Amino acid sequence: MTDISLTEKIERAAAEPQNMGEMVAADAMGTVGSTNCGDMLRLWIKFKEEKNGRRVIDRATFQSFGCQTAIAVASVATELIRGKTPEEALSLSGEELSAPLGALPPMKIHCAQLVEEALRSALDPASETISKKSSSCASPASTLSDQLNPQAGKFKINILGSTT
């Protein structure tokens, strides 16, 4: 098997992202915006209880108005956190969440941190990210685009390419 470059891994993951899209009836939701670049990312999480009573992440999905790297990291991270407890998922750094892609260059580290912060926003009640988990996650008006209307005013929304 030949080694593929980081750029190629990111391009592949962003071209066919796993778990992209709003989750209806999620148990937790977190939204963050990067002050570095204006990109935004929302993460939804559904839990399940295992036979031993352990509450773990059953599924996570995301939407992003972000760069290719943020989409690629969110794609691999939503796979990585499956089956983990909230505490285990919260202990993962941006570097660990993006590890399946390889080490990111310094200028792209904040892209992984965006995913880390969205996860923290969803799982950690003490998180200080832009919006915290919300009981309205099942609402049809909870898509990222619905909430990024001009009245929010704080964000520069950067929509990259088509997201099918």
Nearer to ligand FES, 37 or 56 (CB): 37
Nearer to ligand FES, 26 or 70 (CB): 70
Task: Please state the closest distance from residue 81 (CB atom) to ligand FES, in A.
Answer: 19
Interatomic CA distance for residues 59 and 25, integer angstroms: 12
Is 67 a catalytic site residue?
A: no
Task: Please state the closest distance from residue 118 (CB atom) to ligand FES, in A.
Answer: 11
Nearer to ligand FES, 70 or 89 (CB): 70
* CA 11 to the chain's CA centroid: 17
Instruction: By CB under 6 A, name the binding residues for ligand FES.
Output: 34, 36-37, 39, 66-67, 69-70, 110-111, 114
Q: What residues does 28 pair with on adjacent strands?
A: 45
Task: Please state the closest distance from residue 110 (CB atom) to ligand FES, in A.
Answer: 6
Of 6, 20, 37, 56, which one is the catalytic site residue? 37
* Nearest residue to 115 (alpha-carbon basis) of 81, 148, 140: 81
**DSSP string for residues in 101-113:** G-PPPGGGHHHHH
- Are 17 and 41 in contact by the 8 Å Cβ rule? The answer is no
Looking at the annotation, which residues are catalytic? 37, 111
